[in-house]
Amino acid sequence: MKTRARTISRRDMLKLSACAAGGALASGVGRPARAAGKKPVTISYMIWGGAERARPYVDAFNRLYPETAEWLKVEVLSPGQHDAESYQALRLALAAGGQGLPDLIMMNYIGVPEFAAAGQFTDLGQLMAPYKEQLVPGARALATYEDKYVGVPMQIKAKLWYYRKDLFAKAGIDVAKVKTFEDYMEAGQRFHKANQKSYIMNIGPQPIHYWYFMILSNWDGVRVADRNGNYQITRNPHYAELFKWLKAWYSSGIAFKTDDWSPDWQPGFADDTIAGSLISNWMNGFLPKFAPAQKDKWGLTLWPEFNRTGSEAGGGVVCIPKGAKNPEAAFEFASKLWLEPRGALEYWTINGTPPSTKAGQAEVRKAVATMGRPAGMPDDEWAANPVNFFGRDFMEPIFRAMEVMKVFPYDPKASAELTILRRHAEAFLADKESLEKALAGAEAEMGTQIGNPYA
């Protein structure tokens, strides 16, 4: 079967390509194949970042499940480079009475409540039943909204600290002893003193959008607003803590002053300017490409204890809109690729994304123990393979981080709330607003522009 890809926007922020075209495949036990003679179906799968981004995964599905691929075809659609553009495309399709509605759409969990609260996703409770007990901690939270299954978890975005082992050792920094915020700040100063052209982290004047809820998700009891529409920005002290941390990192001299995905970000890793990153485990798929010459120099560990738990946007899920033409076929594709062991292992082989199921993780552990360079793999692809780049133990910190992963309790207006929160945080970083004015201004704007997010 050939994959058809129709790109609405050719911009590709992430410039994502496969880390490896092949790899050791361990056998897994999946569900029985669909009956022969199934009526041919073409599902539409909407993602952001360019349709070509999904080609390796669809090709893997075709290769692993040829019986299903005989009747199930996949057309990949991409409305733009950011997840927000996918959400807008879904809103427009729903407003048009379902015209242009995809069968399957990739979401960050931050976008899920808006549509799930309005009943615009298919209830997947029965379809997910065979997999519920297999989901690892955090995966169930990604798959559900208010205890109803509305998605298939595809990417748990646990929090990982990536650091240059050689440069940290030169500065005499043991990451295991960095526990408090003050420890981290002191380590940053010591690191830069010992490595004068390098920094322990990066952050610019417009901190990347995922910083905010990634930090806030560490604390229990933090919400943006309660069910009555009362915003908590000035009332919960963790919002002030968030703003103060961002400013301390930005203004203290411990950080290279550029934001993630800026033109200076990727080169900063390659030339040793950026030697550490508090980020999510999806960085596995990018860091080896950013700095392929730094093989064996990077370590992974959990975030320091002061902000260890939580996640970056919760993670990625695929959802089936209510009114989709081919919901069962869409679930067939999603479950085989992300829930069944063979599909989850191949997805990990391609881009380093850890499986959301216990069986999938077991397959990855077996593969890591024996994986070698696949026959015929070009030098550049093998250099960017996470197993080769980080070493065979690199998945264990990720699995540990997934055990403490939590999803922030996003409400249906989370995207709009984040836009407002960022605007005032940036004003605070630029000394245009005091801390008190920034927090109060964000809260007031949310009240007037959004109102009760649950209404």
| Predicted local distance difference test score (pLDDT) of residue 261 | 94
- The DSSP code sequence of 216-278 is HTTSTT--SB-TTS-B-TTTSHHHHHHHHHHHHHHHSSSEES--TTSTTHHHHHHTTSB-EEE
The Cα 248–Cα 404 span in angstroms is: 26
Burial of 375 per CB tally in 10 Å (0-12, 13-18, 19+): exposed
**Tens digit of pLDDT for each residue in 382-427?**
888 888 999 989 999 999 999 999 999 999 999 999 999 999 999 9
**What is each CA distance from 20 to 50, 363, 378, 390, 442, in whole angstroms?**
19, 17, 9, 14, 44
* Spans of all domains in the chain: 4-156+314-375, 159-309+413-449
Fold: same for 4-156+314-375 and 159-309+413-449: yes
Asked whether the beta carbons of 248 and 280 are under 8 A apart, the reply is no
Percent of the chain with pLDDT over 90: 83
| Predicted local distance difference test score (pLDDT) of residue 285 | 86
Q: What CATH code would you report for 4-156+314-375?
A: 3.40.190.10
Q: Which residues, 6+ apart, have CB-to-CB distance to 234 below 8 Å?
A: 439, 440, 443
| Predicted local distance difference test score (pLDDT) of residue 37 | 59
| Predicted local distance difference test score (pLDDT) of residue 16 | 30
Tell me which long-range contacts 9-14 makes (C-beta under 8 A, separation of at least 24). Answer: 9/50, 9/78, 9/79, 9/80, 9/81, 9/85, 10/50, 11/50, 11/80, 11/81, 12/49, 12/50, 12/52, 12/53, 12/81, 13/49, 13/81, 13/82, 13/261, 14/49, 14/53, 14/81, 14/286
- pLDDT lower than 50: segments of the chain: 1-35
CA atoms within a 13 Å half-sphere pointing along the CA-CB vector of 9? 16
Closest CA to 318 of 47, 30, 85, 15: 47
| Predicted local distance difference test score (pLDDT) of residue 383 | 85
Note the CATH architecture for domain 159-309+413-449. 3-Layer(aba) Sandwich (3.40)
- Enter the pTM of the model: 0.85
